[in-house]
Structure 1
Amino acid sequence: MRYLKIYLLGLLLVLPNVALAADREVTVCGWFKERWVFTLWSSVAPSPDAARVAGHHLIQRTEFTTGDDKVLRGYKYQAQDNNGLAMQAEGYILVALGNAMIADLMITTLERFSQRGYDVYIYDYRGYGDSQGKRRINAIIEDYKELVAHLNTQYEKQLLYGISLGGAVMANVIGSGAQYDRVVIDSSPSRLSPHGCPKWLDPAENIPDNANNLLVITGEKDSVLGPDMTAEFRELAKQKGAAVYNGSNYGHPFMDRRYAIHNERLNRVIDFLDGRAGD
């Protein structure tokens, strides 16, 4: 009987971790709060509309089936040469979107990434747009770990760009030990744990010890995630060797007040990913 009790106690200690691995759609930031927040966020995102990409001959629909059999749908912007013709890609850029963004609306804004010779991939998060599954942060992170591993088998150069919530997702991906060449994290919150999430989920806890291939961007005019929410991540990353840029005129990504600022920001992103600039 004594050994049976010890065995049962062991099961109780192990089962939560087993459940987390087996069911990626478990809530980790509070059963009600995580569901409510994602419902609120997703309600702000526009509905999918394939007409937004109509006429873009280099943009193709793409799908990925996750390990728990959910289909993520998105778009691939093919690499192009100086004449605007499809070319063999130098590598890929996987973009993780903000919580109110949708793939067919965002893919057309990243043409310059394609013009640098990269295949650009954007997927709607599970539960967003046309992607299957429930909106859960643990599931989204696991999905992107799989997407990176999958794309790494097809391309030699492996580049990542995370925007806002997508920055938190990418921080967890690189913190898990995923293989990549360069990554830009643009306006990620430093911490999610003050909002009920476990500490291991905090972007600030997932910065690699050697962050030389990381660029962190923040904005002093960011009205969505202010300096009190982003500065810690930026400063910790800098201490570990990351390039950082705190734009005095930068707002939240894709919400900058003037196109010239937005344009400069995206050029900064692709220059770093492409290896043309280090800061």
Structure 2
Amino acid sequence: MNIPTTLLFLFILVSNAAADEREKTVCGSIQEPFLFWLWSLAAPKPDKNRALVSPLIEQTHFTTSDNKILRGYRYNSHNKAENRTPPKGYVLMALGNAMIADQIITSLKYLSLSGYDVYIYDYRGYANSEGKRRINAIIEDYKEIITSLNAKYDKTLLYGISLGGAVMMNAIGSGVDHDAALIDSSPSRFSDFGCPERVDPVNNLPDDASKIFVITGKKDQVLNSNMTAPLRVEAQKRGAKVLDGEDLSHPYMDRSLDAHNARTKLIQDYFSKMPDGPE
């Protein structure tokens, strides 16, 4: 081998080792891959035409440090006349485990209309994103995405639903900078299902949780109160804003349009309180 070929070979070995480390199972070598496979089957097939219904919505992608491409969409900040406006900051959404980006992005218009660039990515191994579906890898991906977006925007708003709420809580627990986070219907613990306690959302609450708003629903038919309440209760003890909605179900599964609209308004009002520009 000549020197350039040798260096290339070594680079490939190091890259593969990094990918293997990030994508290792932490919740059981059989259980974790099987559950993610099962959840991904419940997600619809990707269709960019479902998302690209407005010139304000653009395809985007993020390349992780282990060289996996995560694909998604950005809904650009705009006014009521559908003209782009300079963004106050960004909102990054982390999805539930049977959702994909093109299915949800159009429903986030209310956040882009509030003056934020809104980002949503398919998890690795979902839709057209590369990589293996593993909780450790997904958490690491979002830590990197947040760090990257923080370098481009003045305001950092995080929004996670269901599994995405748990992902965001782990990112917050790692110390990523953020101005506010809305955690909607997240499980409180994964350790009950064989995962290490370090990934339990409740164990990633900061001592000062005043930047966090935790929403749960009394009519949640996916995650019951035993699964969601511990995070909400502990978050409130640490200064978080919390709500256990009487008429709320799981996100995007509310039983009435009124309940869905009430949830949307809660989210919009919370993020709208963020001041413009750097503090």
Shared fold (TM-score, shorter chain, > 0.5): yes
Name the counterpart of 2:100. Answer: 102
The alpha carbon displacement at 1:53 in A equals 2.1
Alignment of 1:1-279 (within 5 A): 23-275=21-273
Matched residues in 2 for 1:159 and 1:202: separation?
21
Matched residues in 2 for 1:252 and 1:172: separation?
20
The alpha carbon displacement at 1:188 in A equals 0.4
SS at match of 2:160: strand
The alpha carbon displacement at 1:21 in A equals 9.2
TM-score, normalising length: structure 1: 0.91
Amino acid at match of 1:96: A
The alpha carbon displacement at 1:81 in A equals 1.4
**Structure 1 unmatched runs, 5+:** 1-18
Matched residues in 1 for 2:81 and 2:106: separation?
18
**Do the aligned partners of residues 268 and 107 (structure 1) sit closer, same or farther apart at CA in structure 2, a change above 3 Å counting?**
same
**Structure 2 unmatched runs, 5+:** 1-16, 275-279
RMSD after superposition: 1.4
The number of aligned residues is 259
Name the counterpart of 2:3. Answer: none
Native 8 Å contact 2:90 2:155 kept in 1: yes
SS at match of 1:31: coil
The alpha carbon displacement at 1:22 in A equals 7.0
The alpha carbon displacement at 1:145 in A equals 0.1
SS at match of 1:261: helix
The alpha carbon displacement at 1:264 in A equals 1.1
SS at match of 1:169: helix
Native 8 Å contact 1:204 1:232 kept in 2: yes
Amino acid at match of 1:271: D
TM-score, normalising length: structure 2: 0.91
The alpha carbon displacement at 1:82 in A equals 2.8
Native 8 Å contact 2:18 2:66 kept in 1: no
The runs of at least 4 consecutive aligned structure 1 residues that moved more than 2 Å come to 19-22
The alpha carbon displacement at 1:266 in A equals 1.3
Taking every aligned residue pair, what percent have the same amino acid on both sides?
54
CA distances 1:119-169 after superposition (whole Å, capped 9, x unpaired): 000000000010000000000000000000000000000000000000000
Matched residues in 1 for 2:193 and 2:158: separation?
26
